[in-house]
Amino acid sequence: MLFGDPVTPLGIPANYPYLERTVPADGDTDVPVEQEIVARFSKPLNPATVALGIEGAVGLALTPSWNEERTEVTYSHSGLARGRTFTGTVSGQDRLGNPLGAGLVPRTWTFRTVPGAIVGLERVKLDAPSNGMAHTAYVAWASVTPLTATQPITYHWQATGQAPQTHSGGVNDAVTYTWDTPGAVTLVVSATNAAGEVVADVHTADILPAPVTGVSVSGPARVAIDTSYTFQASARPPTATTPITYVWRVTGQAAGAYPLTRVSGLSDTLSVTWAASGTHSVSVTAWNMAGAVTGSHVVTVQDSLPERYSLYLPLVVR
């Protein structure tokens, strides 16, 4: 090399240390799980400042061993997991306190270990309640054996009146359904993994009607004779199974006019006229396949209602 020759590059060594080699190298695959991890540096390092982290290897104990020149460290360990990708990061300083800098070999690198043997599925078990309720979430669970089965595991769910669902995950899975109509339903789950064998299980359940838990009667509190008024019965909750039967009872009416039975949805209306004054009641019993409830409303019937007048005040402008 000629000093001052513009054609000849002048090599100036870096003041900071850098990585020259790692084992495994960045991007290596099929790395043996017992492979020791090696880092070689361009200059001697202070061993007390050197640290190696392996992301993805939680709890892995690393034991360093240095060469005499302090330019290479070898980490032994108890073994890495199969079929996993790991990320190594190394840091440190030389004897003068210069930190590890950038070089041709990255200070953070990744590698993947050899895949493990594929463990197939022996069984999938479907667990779910024997009864559910309409309009209410119904949860079913699936679990596979053995627990060492190769993951991911694909679950295919099917159920009466529901769209198929496919999930991918571990040795447990769950699904949530909601049925609007009572009746018997069948659930089927199948599971498979890389081994290719499919296992399945079946479960049957009865979806029960959602009961009516309350009914309210609304309408005017004061009415006049010989005038028709409308009253409404409202069942609750909104998720109650329909149809709902409403049995109306009104006092102060002609013999044989009531009870009056009507079938409707979550509400029903009735028009009522009284021929004589007095205090009367409008009551309703609402029921479906799951139960019955009663509500009532008190009405004061008068010969006539007070007339209402509108009072207009003059507008004064100043």
In this structure, what token pair is assigned to residue 247?
Answer: 């049995």
Q: What is the pLDDT of residue 318?
A: 62
Q: Which domains does the chain have, with CATH numbers?
A: 19-113 (2.60.40.1220), 123-208 (2.60.40.10), 214-302 (2.60.40.10)
Average pLDDT, the chain: 92
Per-residue pLDDT of 106-116, as tens digits, reads: 999 999 999 88
Residue 1 has pLDDT above 50, yes or no: no
pTM above 0.75, yes or no: no
Which CB contacts under 8 angstroms, 24+ apart, belong to 244-248? 244/212, 244/268, 244/286, 244/287, 244/288, 245/286, 245/287, 245/288, 246/215, 246/284, 246/285, 246/286, 247/284, 247/285, 247/286, 247/287, 248/282, 248/283, 248/284
Residue 233 has pLDDT above 90, yes or no: yes
The larger pLDDT score, comparing residue 296 to residue 309, is at: 296
Residue 7 has pLDDT above 80, yes or no: no
Residue 311 has pLDDT above 80, yes or no: no
Q: What is the pLDDT of residue 309?
A: 53
Residues 317, 198: Cα–Cα separation, whole Å:
89
Per-residue pLDDT of 62-82, as tens digits, reads: 999 999 999 999 999 999 988
